[in-house]
C-alpha cells in the first residue's frame, strides 16, 4: 500500500513539474493584435455588434486575451485558433482577399461557427435564433457588396 501511495505522489510531483516547465514555452503568449486596416462595409451596426460578440476573438485583430490565455497548454490552443481564424477570415483586414469570406454566412447557418468549444467559455457568443438570423442576413449583405475588396 505504501508503494502505491509513493507512486501516486511521484506521479503528482511529475505532473506539477511538467506543468511548470511547459509555461516556459513562448508560443501563445505574444498576444499581438495588429492594427485594424479596414473593416467590411457593414449593412448595420447590429450586424457588426453580433459579429463582434460571436466572431471577432478569432476573426479580427481585436482579440480579447483573458488571463487563461497566458497559461500553457491553453495558451497554445487559443493562439493556434486565433492564428488559424485570422488566416481564414479577418474582419480587420478587409482590404486584403479573404479566403473564406464567401462561406461566412453558411458557416453560421450550419452551426460550425462559432466553434462548439468557444461558446461555453464565451456565453455572449451564444446567439438567439433571431440574432443568428440577423447575423446571417448581414453577412450575406456584405457578400453582395463585394467581400474582401
Average pLDDT across the chain, whole number: 90
Answer whether 0.85 is exceeded by the pTM.
no
What is the pLDDT confidence band of residue 149, given thresholds at 50, 70 and 90? Answer: very low
Asked if residue 149 belongs to a domain, the reply is no
Q: Which residues of 17-32 are buried (b: 16+ CB within 10 A; e: fewer)?
A: eeeeeeeeeeebeeee
Which domain does 135 fall in, by range? 2-144
Higher pLDDT, 145 or 81: 81
Residue 24 belongs to a domain = yes
Q: Is residue 56 part of a domain?
A: yes
In a domain, residue 131? The reply is yes
- Bridge partners (DSSP) listed for residue 38: 93
Instruction: State mean pLDDT over 33-48.
Output: 96
Decide if 112 is inside a domain. yes
Q: What is the pLDDT of residues 90-120, one digit of tens each?
A: 999 999 988 788 899 999 999 999 999 999 9
SS3 content of the chain, % helix, strand, coil (to 5): 60, 0, 40
Task: Specify the number of domains making up the chain.
Answer: 1
Tell me if 86 is assigned to some domain: yes
Amino acid at each position: 500500500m505504501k508503494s502505491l501511495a509513493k507512486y501516486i505522489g511521484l506521479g503528482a510531483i511529475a505532473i506539477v513539474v511538467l506543468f511548470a516547465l511547459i509555461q516556459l514555452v513562448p508560443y501563445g503568449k505574444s498576444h499581438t493584435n495588429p492594427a485594424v486596416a479596414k473593416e467590411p462595409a457593414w449593412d448595420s451596426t447590429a450586424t457588426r455588434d453580433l459579429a463582434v460578440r460571436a466572431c471577432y476573438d478569432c476573426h479580427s485583430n481585436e482579440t480579447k486575451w483573458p488571463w487563461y490565455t497566458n497559461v500553457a497548454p491553453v495558451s497554445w490552443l487559443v493562439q493556434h485558433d486565433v492564428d488559424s481564424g485570422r488566416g481564414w477570415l479577418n474582419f480587420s483586414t478587409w482590404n486584403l482577399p479573404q479566403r473564406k469570406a464567401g462561406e461566412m454566412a453558411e458557416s453560421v447557418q450550419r452551426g460550425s461557427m462559432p466553434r462548439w468549444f468557444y461558446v461555453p467559455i464565451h456565453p455572449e457568443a451564444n446567439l438567439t435564433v433571431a440574432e443568428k438570423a440577423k447575423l446571417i442576413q448581414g453577412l450575406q449583405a456584405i457578400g453582395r457588396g463585394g467581400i474582401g475588396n
